[in-house]
Chain A
Amino acid sequence: DVKVTQSSRYLVKRTGEKVFLECVQDMDHENMFWYRQDPGLGLRLIYFSYDVKMKEKGDIPEGYSVSREKKERFSLILESASTNQTSMYLCASSSEAEGEYEQYFGPGTRLTVT
């Protein structure tokens, strides 16, 4: 089974702090994604990566950056956390192999910025 893990289930940070959210997948997937989920808005894509050291902006990249130094690990960085970044953050991964299409999601990190 594909396993996507995230470093924390719950996180509380103060405004202005630098925040790191880590995601690791164990299926050698090429693609990795970071979403945030807010009530009534569904999931919105923040950043994604098709390969190591590669990154692409999603729909709402402002205030975030990412790092992918190894294939299995994709980190989301909030350079200076703000209260409007309080949200549920979901990481996902998928394969480029023929016949493999789905994105597999991690358990999520609920971040509160006070």
Chain B
Amino acid sequence: ELKVEQNPLFLSMQEGKNYTIYCNYSTTSDRLYWYRQDPGKSLESLFVLLSNGAVKQEGRLMASLDTKARLSTLHITAAVHDLSATYFCAVEETSGSRLTFGEGTQLTVNP
């Protein structure tokens, strides 16, 4: 059974600081997704990582994938208040299209 774990689950940081969210998963997979969810809203796709060593960047967020370590990171650079949200990683099983989600990381960026 595929398990996906994120840490930290809660993250409070100051504007301008850097931080990393970690996503570990338990079985082989070549596809990993990062989503953002604002309070009361649905999930918005941020990144799709398709192979070992994949790195993608959008604004102050950068995601990477190490399939050998079964680890993805979401790095936040110089955080701003608008990044406050819950971030989920999700791993696709090799046998199909279904995703297994992590518990989510609730990020609060304080002025």
Residues of A within 8 A of B (CB): 31, 33, 35, 40-45, 48, 50, 58, 90, 92, 94, 96, 101-108
Contacts and interface: CB of A to CB of B under 8 A. Distances in A.
Nearest to A102: B45
A69 B99 CA distance: 23
A107 B41 CA distance: 6
A105 B97 contact: no
B88 A43 contact: yes
A49 B97 CA distance: 10
Interface of B: 4, 9, 31, 33, 35, 41-45, 48, 50, 88, 90, 92, 96-104
Contacts of B48: 101-102
Contacts of B42: 90, 105-108
Contacts, number: 54
B33 A102 contact: yes
A101 B51 CA distance: 13
B45 A96 contact: no
Given A42-B88, A101-B50, A90 B98 contact: no
A41 B97 contact: no
Nearest to A40: B103
